[in-house]
Amino acid sequence: MSGDIHIRVEGRAGRITLNRPKSLNALTHDMCLAIESALDAWTGDDSIELAVIDASGEKAFCAGGDVQEMHRSGSAGDYEYGRAFWRDEYRLNAKLFHWPKPFVAFMQGFVMGGGVGISCHGSHRVVGGTSRIAMPECGIGLVPDVGGSLLLAQAPGRLGEYLGVTGTRMNAADAIHAGFADYFIDESDWPRLILNLVEGGGVGAVDRAAADPPDSPLSRIRPDIDRLFTGERLADIVTDLGNDGGPVAEKALEAIRRNSPLSMACSVETTHRLRGSDDITRALDLEYRFTSRSMEHGDFLEGVRAAVIDKDRAPRWRHESPSAVPAIDVSRMLMPQKDHPLGLELPTWAA
């Protein structure tokens, strides 16, 4: 695991560098535990002013969690490995959300799923020209998790519903518009900025280095999104999209037809339940209700098979269409988890 992630102290900064570039820096269980241990150690260390997280390679900061072992164990009937991974990962997400010092994330290339969870809850979220941020979990039979459901619920207008069910990739300006990032800084300036932070220049250096982001295509189509994604249920949204016939609606429907109907229906529901909230514990609990059941009662194993294992891109979902998900199925996936609770125990500084 030591080769997968490089954690050290440099000057006044705690430094975390993901180092699995050939795997798009996909996040493993051990990497989650290592980051959590570092945050715990640095919290009470007065010599450390802030933390910086970045990643090796140009293609991705972190393209998600490493789901292959989850698929292997789940296919063998062992659902506890996945539940343990999610419990530990969600605890890390909550700690990062509440971390009392500045946490600066440099997010190049793909930032998806688990990558969002270890960056977008930080205090200073930096994107650049290559950044592509998304929550594409519905495509593998999950819901936007790692606290991403809270980010979606806090996004302006109906962007949360749209981004959750379509998995649309945002550029840097889109991510800032949607509330997933804060600063646009040219990536050629990142090394110099990190050196400044390490040498004790203070987190204000991030503000001073920021530039105006480029154009946001997402902001241009937001009036259509806000009009088309007001439905109470996924089926209502699909009906409105089908009746519209415009380019935004057609592109959204194309994405929706590829994804798990059950996952999308639950994503819409979690977005609605969390709207107006700033409680990441509540968001993570809702997400875990779904993910902890996703192997046995959802589409996760089939989604990973089709996208990652066999790569045939032909998943056989439990429901025939986005309009065919009964409300009772959504309720069952999101009911309180009594048999395998999340048990999110946090230190006093993160409570």
| DSSP-assigned letters across all residues of 37-70 | HHHHHHHT-TT--EEEEEESSSSEEE--B--HHH
Beta strands at 132-134 and 110-112: parallel, antiparallel or unpaired: parallel
Per-residue buried b or exposed e for 257-271, using 16+ beta carbons within 10 Å of the residue's own CB:
eebbbbbbbbbbbbb
CA distance 66 to 321: 28
The neighbouring-strand residues paired with 10 are 13
Q: What local confidence, expressed as pLDDT, does residue 349 receive? A: 83
Rounded to whole angstroms, what are the CA distances from 274 to 142, 160, 279? 17, 10, 8
Sign of the torsion formed by the C-alpha atoms of 329, 232, 272 and 222: positive
Which residue among 114, 115, 117, 141 is the active-site one? 114
Q: pTM for this one?
A: 0.97
Rounded to whole angstroms, what are the CA distances from 139 to 56, 258, 299, 338? 26, 7, 10, 27
pLDDT one-digit tens code per residue, 206-251: 999 999 998 999 999 999 999 999 999 999 999 999 999 999 999 9
Which residue among 36, 54, 89, 145 is the active-site one? 145
Which residue among 36, 49, 64, 65 is the active-site one? 65
pLDDT one-digit tens code per residue, 46-98: 999 999 999 999 999 999 998 999 999 999 999 999 999 999 999 999 999 99
Full 3-state SS string of 5-22: EEEEEECCEEEEEECCHH
Asked if 153 and 159 count as a contact pair (C-beta separation under 8 A), the reply is no
Residue 309, phi then psi, degrees to nearest 5: -85, -65
∠6-287-52 over CA atoms, to 5°?
A: 25
Asked if 21 and 56 count as a contact pair (C-beta separation under 8 A), the reply is yes
pLDDT at 1 over 60: no
* The token pair that represents 307 in the structure block: 């996208």
- Count CB-CB contacts under 10 A for residue 123: 18
Active site residue 179: no
CA distance 152 to 346: 23
CA distance 258 to 329: 19
Asked if 19 and 30 count as a contact pair (C-beta separation under 8 A), the reply is no
Active site residue 114: yes
Which residue among 36, 66, 137, 287 is the active-site one? 137
The neighbouring-strand residues paired with 127 are 107, 184
Active site residue 65: yes
pLDDT one-digit tens code per residue, 295-336: 999 999 999 999 999 999 999 999 999 999 999 999 999 999
Q: What local confidence, expressed as pLDDT, does residue 66 receive? A: 87
CA distance 202 to 193: 10
Domains of the chain plus CATH, in order, are: 5-350 (3.90.226.10)
Asked if 92 and 85 count as a contact pair (C-beta separation under 8 A), the reply is no
Beta strands at 110-112 and 60-62: parallel, antiparallel or unpaired: parallel
The residue length of the chain stands at: 351
